[in-house]
A and B are shown apart, each in its own frame.
Chain A
Amino acid sequence: MYGTGILKGMGVTIRHLVDSFVDDMRFLGQRYYSDSSMNIRQGTEGRGVFTVQYPDEKLPVPEQFRFIPFLLYENNEDGSTTDRCTSCGICAKVCPPQCIWIERSSDPDTGRPIPEPTNFYIDIDICMNCGYCAEYCPFDAIKMDHDYELASYDRTEAHIFDKARLDKPVEYYASIRPNDYLAEETARAEELAKKAAKKEAAAARKAAAAAKKAAAEDN
C-alpha cells in the first residue's frame, strides 16, 4: 500500500519520542545535569534520546581522552617545585607535526647541558593530539590533558603555549588520570624497591667479600 513507508518512518520517530519520556520516568531525576547522567543516557540501559545540552551539560571524557599535552611538576615539601622533564628531547623527536620546541638548560660557567628545560613550547594549532609525546616520554613528564575548551581571540602568539602555560602539578594529573597515575607510581615504587634490593645485595656481597678477605688475612 502506498504510504506505509512514510507511516513506518513516523512510527520510528514516535517510538524514539516515547522512549525518551519512558527513560525520563525510569531514571527519574538522574538523566540530566549530573556527572553520571551520561552513564544512563549512553550506557547499555538507556533507550531514549541522548543529546547533550552543551555547554550547560558536558559529556564526561574517559580517562584516556587526549587533547593538548601539559608538563608535570612535583610540589616539594619546602614549597619549591621540581620539573619532571629532563629535557631529553624524545618528545620533540617523536612529535609527528614537529610542534614541540625545547630549550635545554646549560651551565652558565662550563656550558655543559643541565637536564632540565629552560623553556618548552608547544604550538597547539599544529599539535594533532596524537599522544605520542606522552606515550614515549621515559620520565612521565608530559601527559595529555582533558581540557578541550581552548578557543581564544588571537590565533597567533596566544596559541604557542610556553612552559608557564604548560606546567601543571602532578596532583592535577592524578585527578584526571587516576588509573594511569596509580599504575606509574606502582611501577616506579617497584623499580625503586628493586634498585634498593640490588644495592643492599651489592653491599652485602661487598661486606661478605671484605669479611672473607679479613679472614684470609687473619690466617
Chain B
Amino acid sequence: MSDKDSLDNMPVNEVASDSLVARFDGEVRSDTREGYEGYIVDANMLPEVASVLRDDLGYDYLSSVTGVDYIDDNHIEVVYHADQTTGGKGINLKVQLDRENPIVPTLVPIYPGADFQEREVFDMYGVKFDGHPNLRRILMWDGFHGYPLRKDWKEAYYEEDIKPFDSRWPGGGVKRSEADNPYGKNVNYPPGFDINNWTPETDDSLYESLEKTNSNGKSLHTDSIVVNIGPQHPSTHGVFRMVVALDGETITDLQPVMGYLHRNHEKIGERNTFLQNMPYTDRLDYLCSMSNNLGYALAVEQLMGADVPERAQYIRVLMAELTRISNHMWAIGFLLNDLGAFQTPALYAIRARELILDVFEATAGSRMMCNYMRFGGLARDFPDTLRGEDTVKFITDLVDNTLPKAIDELDHFLTANEIVRSRCIGVGVLPPDKAIAYSTGGPLLRASGVSYDLRTADPYSIYDRFDFNICTRSNGDVYDRYLVRVDEMRESTRICQQVMRDIPAEGEIFSGKPQYSVKVPAGESYGRVENPKGELGYYVVSTGKANPYRYHVRAPSFVNLTVLGELCKGHKVADAVVILGSIDIVLGEVDR
C-alpha cells in the first residue's frame, strides 16, 4: 500500500491531527477537555497553522469564527471551524486569549471570509485581530460602550443571569419592563461619561475607509461621491444600508452597514434554557424557520446523544425541503422586484409558497414561526385533514403536481426573458476560488461551480437515503444564481416525492418523554444544516446545566455579505441592488 492509500483510508480528522500536532510540536495541542474536540493553537502561530491547514491539508473553507468567554478561567477563546470543499467532517481550532487584553493575528489574508466574522468577535468580545484591514464594530454602532457577549455584560432590561426568572412564580408581581426607566439603574455609562456634553460619533471613519478613485486621465473629471442606500430603502430587503463610493455612476467601493435589527440573539440564547431557544431560532431567517429548527435540534441532539424516530426523520427532511422551495420562490420573486418587475412575478412565485405555508400552519401551528422540532423528534404529527382533504393526499398532490408546475411556470416566463437575461448575465461575477475564499455558501457558492452542499458533503439527518443532485452552474453571475435556485427547487421536489413514497405510515415522532427542561451533558457541538441560503451552523457549549453556556449562530446571510463589496465593484448602483437580491439575505439572520 502506498503512503497515499493509507492516508486516504484514515479518517480525515486523524490525518489532520497527526500532521498538525506533529508539525507544530507544543504549539498545537489536542483539545482534551471533556466533550470537546479540535486543537488549541498558540495565538502567534495561528496564521502559520491556518496556512498549513488550507494549503497542505485541504481545509480551504473557513466556515465559522466565533468567541467564547470563559470568565472563570479568565480567558476568551476564539473558535474557528474549517472544512474541505471536497466534503467530510470539519475541523476546529481554538485560540485562548487573556481576557484583559485579547489580541490574535487576523486570518483575513488567508481566509478573506473571516473579515466580517472577526469584526463580529471584536464587536461582541473586544478581541483585537491584529492586522485586520477594517477592524470596526459591525453589529453595534461606533461609540458603543462594552462588549455585549462577555459574561459580565448586562443588557438594559437585565433581570437574572438565566431563565426561568424567580419573580414569575409563585409571587406574580407583573410589570412591564418598559416601565423601568431605561435611563435609570439599567444603563451602564463608562466612567466620566457626561450625557449632556456627548456628541455621537460620526460616520467619518466609515466614509474614509472606502476606496475612492478620481478619474485621472479620463476626458471628463469626476469627483468621487459617497451615497448611502438605506437603511430605509425598498431594495435592501429590510433595514440594511449600503455605503457606496461612486466614480460617476460606477461603484468603486461598497461597504454594507448592518445591525439595525440586532437584538443580541446569542445573549438571549445564553439566558434561555436549551428548549427555550427553539422558538427564537424561528426568528433568525424567518422565511426558513423549519430548517433553522432542524439545525439547532441537531446541535443539541449531538450533545445529548438523542435518537430520532424514523417517521420524525422523514418529516424533518420533508419540512426542510419544502422550506427550501418556499425560500427560493421568495428569493426569485423578489429578485424580479429588484429588477423593476414590481410584484407580479413575486406574487406568482409566492402563490405556490402559500400552499407550503398551509402545510406548516396545519402541522406546526404557525405559518412562519413554526417552532416544530424538539430534541429527539417533533412537536406533533401531521393533522388528519388539511383544507378538508386528507393531509397525506394534500402534501402528495402538492409535491407531485402543484409545485413542479409552479416551478415550470417560473422557468417558462423568466429564464428566457430578455430583460432578465440582459440585466443578470455577466453581472456580479464571483469566480470559484474567490467564492471559497470568502466562505460564501448556498446558491451563491454553487453558482460559481463549487459543488459543496452539506447534504452530501457532511450528510445529516437521513439525506444519505435520497437520490438527488447538487446543482451547480459555472459562470457565477446573477443569472446563474437564479438558475441554481430553479434547479434546486426541482431537486427538492424530488426529495419530497421520495419522502412521501418512503415515509412509514405510522410510528413515533418523538423518542422518550417530552420534558420541559432538558439537561444536556457538558461539551461543545457544532450542528449545521444546508439552509436555503447556505451553511447554517450552531455552535453550542454546554456546562451540563439547563442553559447553554455559549450559543452561536453561524448565519449564512451574514457571512455571504462579506463578498458583497467585491461583487459590486465596477458595476452601476442599479446592479448593486440586483446583486444584493441575488445573494438573498434576510436581516433577521444577518443582524441577529
Contact = CB atoms under 8 A, between A and B. Distances in A.
Interface of A: 2-6, 8-9, 11-13, 16, 36, 38-39, 42-44, 50, 61-66, 87, 89-90, 92-96, 98, 100-104, 113, 118-119, 121, 123, 128-132, 135-136, 144, 156, 160, 179
Contact of B354 (A42, A62, A144): A42
B169 A12 contact: no
Contact of A101 (B174, B276, B366, B386): B174
Given A100-B168, A103-B170, A64 B363 contact: yes
Contacts of A6: 417-419
Contacts of B354: 42, 50
B365 interface: yes
Interface stretch (B183-191, B394-402, B442-450): B394-402
A121 B384 CA distance: 34
B450 to A, nearest CB: 30
B252 interface: no
A65 B365 contact: yes
A11 B171 CA distance: 65
A4 B417 CA distance: 7
Contact of A5 (B163, B176, B394, B419): B419
Contacts, number: 162
Contacts of B275: 94, 132
Contacts of B355: 42
Contacts of A123: 174, 176
B419 to A, nearest CB: 7
B176 A156 contact: yes
B273 to A, nearest CB: 8
A165 B300 CA distance: 37
Contacts of A2: 418
B413 A9 contact: yes
A5 B420 contact: yes
Contacts of A135: 379, 514
7 contacts: A8-B412, A42-B354, A44-B389, A66-B365, A94-B273, A130-B371, A132-B276
Nearest to A62: B362
B272 interface: yes
A36 B385 CA distance: 13
Contact of B279 (A43, A63, A89, A132): A132
Contact of A102 (B169, B379, B388): B169
Contacts of A95: 164, 168, 276
A36 B273 CA distance: 41
Contacts of B419: 5-6
A98 B165 contact: yes
Contacts of A61: 361
Contacts of B417: 5-6, 8-9
B75 interface: no
Nearest to B379: A135
Contacts of B280: 96, 128
A38 B351 CA distance: 14
B380 interface: yes
A2 B417 CA distance: 9
A39 B517 contact: no
B348 A16 contact: yes
